[in-house]
Chain A
């Protein structure tokens, strides 16, 4: 796995520090506005954790693209995948009655192949202080780990074939 994995680890750590700092800022802002924090506010930390998971996935994808293309194209590919990943659910909700069975199977297959960033969206729940189920936290963590493992292995495979001399 080598260099891409180490680079990924470093970037995720940096992002973790950034996210933690921003979460702290948000907590302080909430404290200023509400003068106290409630137990239900902890759901905000879950939302922040999900944002970190999402960022880790984006970093892994960006690393993969940066292994075989120019920085500009890597950015464009990553942004494209991010936007596509936000609408995976819509892909599944396409009116299958009007599509051929082949097309319907393809869109379903594609919806599982693309990273599903909607999995990490618990903003409405955090805003209303509703608890996020523990199972969802575990599943999203596993999802990110498995997806990142696939992407980083692909990145390592591409990177190992590059001639850096």
Chain B
């Protein structure tokens, strides 16, 4: 009888204290596992053909599962800020071998593969291979040519091939008219801010994926910053010519009548001049962190 009465009291004590302990322990276990997490990435079956043979008639279903795995793998790495995406290609290879008509895997797979870290795996060569494989399986789908042109334009800086890809895509059914214009423009001018802005804007408008949209928006904002800084540097040179000394503050340009008001970045933070007299992002602007992150990865990558 005595134990019958004590057990509920014991339960009241054990449950909150126990779960408090579980909470703390789980945090430590998570930290411990995170430190060895990098080593846990594995793709045990790397042959797409073998996986297809094993999937019997369920290859498309398995392709969807592998595609989910690709997204989770990329998302997890992105979330942790890890640049090592070496399993991305084997996973995409298996996915597209299992279902060659899974267009989304080619489109977004190339976007994950092509850009340099931290945005992607920094393997535009594999991205091209993936899209070409997609084109072979889905020759009438014009968006794949757009993606191919995109990779050649931004990551490989091969403007002739980019132009050829846009032109080839423009001949496909339902292709939008700007593909032909883009082919001519890229062939004539190479990389230009206008073209870059247009391409990122198209990605931003045409995707439904929030992470791709966010990435496109960030690129659009950074391109705007780049152009703004270039314009402000030109005005600073003008100021130096007129007054024999470089401007120290943005206000100097405004007082000299070269600009109206203090120019601001896309997030509304005013631009500033560095000690060297170059226009740059304000220390408080969140875009500065993004810009520095891209610069840091550019420097560390071979």
Contact = CB atoms under 8 A, between A and B. Distances in A.
Interface stretch (A12-20, A32-40, A99-107, A152-160): A152-160
A160 B33 CA distance: 39
Interface of A is mostly: helix
Contacts of B8: 157
Query: Interface SS of chain B: helix, strand, loop or mixed?
Result: helix
For the side of the interface on B, what is the size category?
A: 20 to 34
Interface string B30-70: 00110110011010000000000000000000000000000
Contacts of B4: 160-161
Contact of A156 (B7, B23, B39, B42): B7
A78 interface: no
A153 B15 contact: yes
B39 A130 contact: yes
B261 interface: no
A56 to B, nearest CB: 15
A135 B75 CA distance: 28
B22 A112 contact: yes
B206 interface: no
Interface residues of A, number: 30
Contact of A139 (B7, B29, B39, B76): B29
Given A2-B3, A125-B40, A139-B28, A146 B22 contact: yes
Contacts of B210: 97-98
B14 interface: yes
A59 to B, nearest CB: 17
Contact of B21 (A125, A128, A146, A157): A146
A97 B211 CA distance: 11
Interface in A43-60: none
Contacts of A113: 19
A1 B210 CA distance: 52
Interface of B: 3-4, 7-8, 10-11, 14-15, 18-19, 21-23, 25-26, 28-29, 32-33, 35-36, 39-40, 42, 72, 75-76, 79, 210
Interface of A: 1-2, 93, 97-98, 112-113, 116, 119, 124-125, 128, 130, 133, 135-136, 139-140, 142-143, 146-147, 149-150, 153-154, 156-157, 160-161
The 6 closest A-B pairs by CB, nearest first: A150-B18, A153-B14, A157-B11, A160-B4, A136-B32, A157-B7
8 contacts: A2-B3, A112-B23, A119-B26, A124-B42, A133-B35, A146-B18, A149-B18, A150-B15
